[in-house]
Amino acid sequence: MDIGFAAAAGMPLDVEAVGQLAFVGPVAVSPATEVDLSACRHLRFTGASDEVVVIGGGDEHFAVLVGLGDPITCAAEQIRKAAARFTREILGCMHVSIDLRGVAAFGPSAGATAQAVAEGVSLAAHRFNGYKSSSTQPTLERVTVVVDADDVVSTSDGLARGCIVARAVNLARDLANEPAGVLTPSRLADVASGLATEAGLQVQVLGEDEIRAERLGGLLGVARGSSEPPRLVKLVYEPGAVTPGAALAPTVALVGKGITFDSGGLSLKSADGMIAMKTDMSGGAVVIAVLSVCRELEIPVRVLGIVPMAENMPGGHATRPGDVVTIRNGKTIEVLNTDAEGRLVLADGLSLAVEEGADAIIDVATLTKDCIVALGREFAGLMGNDDGLVAQVTAASKRAGEETWHLPLPQQYKSHIASEIADMKNTGVAGEAGALTAGLLLSEFVGDTPWVHLDICGHTQLEKDYMHKGAAGFGVRTLVELLAQYPSRGDD
C-alpha cells in the first residue's frame, strides 16, 4: 500500500510521532515537539548526519531528532537518508509528521527537499513480504510534512514526484526479489506488458520464434540450455503533443539485462554463487520500472526500453564453451565462458536500439563481479563512448544520490577479447580488467551512437539507510533524473 503524503502549514493533532530534522549548530525551539533542541546537548545530539535521538514515548506522541550535518553542504541525499532514519524509528505508527520548517533556509529548494523526504520514507518503509506466512508489513499510512505557508504548494508538488519515483524504485526491487521459479522470462514479459498498458506505453513482446526470425543470436544462445523460452520486450513512451514547427523530441534508449536466473550455464557457478542469481535481471527491472512512470512524470523525451529475457541454464542443448553466436548486427562472438552471458543478450539489445535510431543509449546490467572488486558496493561502474553523455549520467547520478564512477575503455585492451575464429570472444584475460573488457565488447554494438554502460553488479543485494536488505532498484532514480533533464550540460 502506498503511503499518503500531505504538506501542511501547521502540525496535525493526531500524529503518533514527530520527526525534527536538525543541522549541526544552534537550533531554535521546535514548534512541533516543544523541545528546545539546543538544550539537547546532554543527550549527545549534535546534529551530525549520522545521529538519531528519540525523545518521549509511552501514551503520548514521541519526537525523533535526526541530524542533517553541515547546512552549507546539505544536499538531497542527506535529507533522503535522514527521512529514512526517522522512518526506521517509527515503523508501526500509522500517522506521523516531519517538521521541515527549520530546513527551508538551507539545503535544496522546498520541492527538492520534499521529494527527498518522500523517497526516503517510502524506500525505508517498503518490505517484500509476499512469501511470509505471517506478514510484518509496516502499518505507516500517512505522513504530514510541515512547512511554512509559502512553501506548501511546492512541497506538495515535490512530495507527489517523490512518491512516483519511490514507487518505481520499489517496483524494481520487488521484481528482483521475486523467486526465479516464479518470475520466469515469460512471466516477466507478462508483467512488463501489463505495466505498459497501465502506463499508456506501446509494447511489443517477442517470443522464441520471433526472436529467431529477428536473428537475435546472443539471446538465443544464452537461452538454449533452459526449458523456459526467452522473451524480448520493447516498450515505447511518447511524450505529449509537440508544438507545430518544433523539433521532434530526441529518443533515449534504455537497454536492461533480463537474465531471470543465472546458473552460469555449462560454466557452472558454485552453489554459493547461485544464491543471489534471481537478481541477475535487476537491469531489466530498472528499465521496466523507469518506463512505467515516464507519463506520470511528464518526461519530455521519447524513451525506448529494450529488455532481453532468458534463463542461463546447463541443459542438454546449452551453448558449449567454444561455440560461436551471431549477434543481430552480424558480428560474431566466440563463447569461451557461458557465465559471461549478460554481454551476449545486451549485444542484441544494443544492436536493436541503434537500428531504432536512438539519439542516446544507456544500458543497465549486473554485468561483472570485477566491478565490485574495483569499486566496492558504494559505486556503480560507468563507461561510455561519448564524454557529453557520460557527464550527463554522472551528474544525474549525483543528484539522485546513486554514486557512479567513470571507468575508462582503453582501446589497447581490445586485444584481450580478440578471437582466433570469430570477431571477438566473450571473456578477456583472467584476472585483468574484466569490467573494462566487458564494456569494450558492448561498445562494438553501438557504433557512433552516444552510449553509456552502467554496471550495477555491486547493488543487487544492498542494505542502506533507506533500503531494507534485498534488491536495491539501483539506477531507477538516476535514469529518471537524466530523462527529466535530457539533454543537459552535465556540469551540475
432 Rama class: left (phi>0) / alpha (psi -120 to 50) / beta: beta
Looking at residue 105, what is its pLDDT? Answer: 74
Helices 282-292, 185-199: crossing angle, 10 deg rounding: 20
Cell of 10: 501547521
Q: Whole-angstrom Cα distance, residue 468 to residue 476?
A: 17
Residues 387 and 265 in one domain: yes
Residues 234 and 146 in one domain: no
Looking at residue 32, what is its pLDDT? Answer: 42
Residues 471 and 328 in one domain: yes
Residues 18 and 75 in one domain: yes
Q: Identify the CATH number of the domain in which residue 271 sits.
A: 3.40.630.10
- Contact call for residues 317 and 303 (beta carbons, < 8 A): no
The residues assigned a catalytic role are 269, 343
Q: Identify the CATH number of the domain in which residue 37 sits.
A: 3.40.220.10
Residues 201 and 237 in one domain: yes
In a domain, 121, yes or no: yes
Q: Where are the alpha helices (DSSP H) in 379-433?
A: 387-400
| Residue finishing a domain among 169, 199, 220 | 169
Burial annotation 297-326 (CB, 10 A radius, 16+ → b, else e): bebebbbbbbbbbbbbbbeeebbeeebbbb
Q: Whole-angstrom Cα distance, residue 47 to residue 45?
A: 6
pTM, two decimal places: 0.94
Residues 140 and 225 in one domain: no
Looking at residue 330, what is its pLDDT? Answer: 98
- Name the residue range of residue 373's domain: 180-484
Tens of pLDDT along the chain (492 residues) come to 689 999 999 988 889 999 988 888 654 334 444 445 444 545 667 888 878 888 875 556 788 989 999 888 889 999 999 999 999 999 889 999 999 987 877 778 999 999 999 999 999 999 888 888 876 666 799 999 999 999 999 999 999 999 999 999 999 999 999 999 999 999 999 999 999 999 999 999 999 999 999 999 999 999 999 999 999 999 999 998 655 666 789 999 999 999 999 999 999 999 999 999 999 999 999 999 999 999 999 999 999 999 999 999 999 999 999 999 999 999 999 999 999 999 999 999 999 999 999 999 999 999 999 999 999 988 999 999 999 999 999 999 999 999 999 999 999 999 999 999 999 999 999 999 999 999 999 999 999 999 999 999 977 666 666 677 788 999 999 999 999 999 864 554
CB-based burial of residue 209 (10 Å sphere; 0-12 exposed, 13-18 middle, 19+ buried)?
exposed
Cell of 158: 515535490
Reduced to 3 states, what is the DSSP secondary structure of residue 191?
helix
Q: Which helix (H) or strand (E) holds 2?
A: none
Indicate the DSSP class of residue 119. H
Q: Which helix (H) or strand (E) holds 106?
A: none
Residues 151 and 217 in one domain: no
Looking at residue 461, what is its pLDDT? Answer: 64
In a domain, 303, yes or no: yes
| Residue finishing a domain among 169, 203, 218 | 169
All residues at 6 or more sequence positions from 196 whose CB lies less than 8 Å from its CB, including other chains: 202, 203, 235, 291, 292
Looking at residue 28, what is its pLDDT? Answer: 39
Residues 286 and 334 in one domain: yes
Residues 254 and 372 in one domain: yes
Cell of 341: 552471458
Residues 207 and 67 in one domain: no
Looking at residue 272, what is its pLDDT? Answer: 95
Looking at residue 116, what is its pLDDT? Answer: 96
Phi, psi of 10 (to 5 degrees): -140, 160
For cell 512518491, the residue is: 163
Reduced to 3 states, what is the DSSP secondary structure of residue 187?
helix
| Residue finishing a domain among 112, 137, 169 | 169
In a domain, 66, yes or no: yes
Looking at residue 241, what is its pLDDT? Answer: 66
Looking at residue 492, what is its pLDDT? Answer: 47
Looking at residue 13, what is its pLDDT? Answer: 85
Residues 217 and 164 in one domain: no
Residues 261 and 145 in one domain: no
In a domain, 175, yes or no: no
Domain count, the chain: 2
Which residue, 268, 256, 186, 266, is CA-closest to 227?
Answer: 186
- Contact call for residues 259 and 345 (beta carbons, < 8 A): yes
- Contact call for residues 266 and 318 (beta carbons, < 8 A): yes
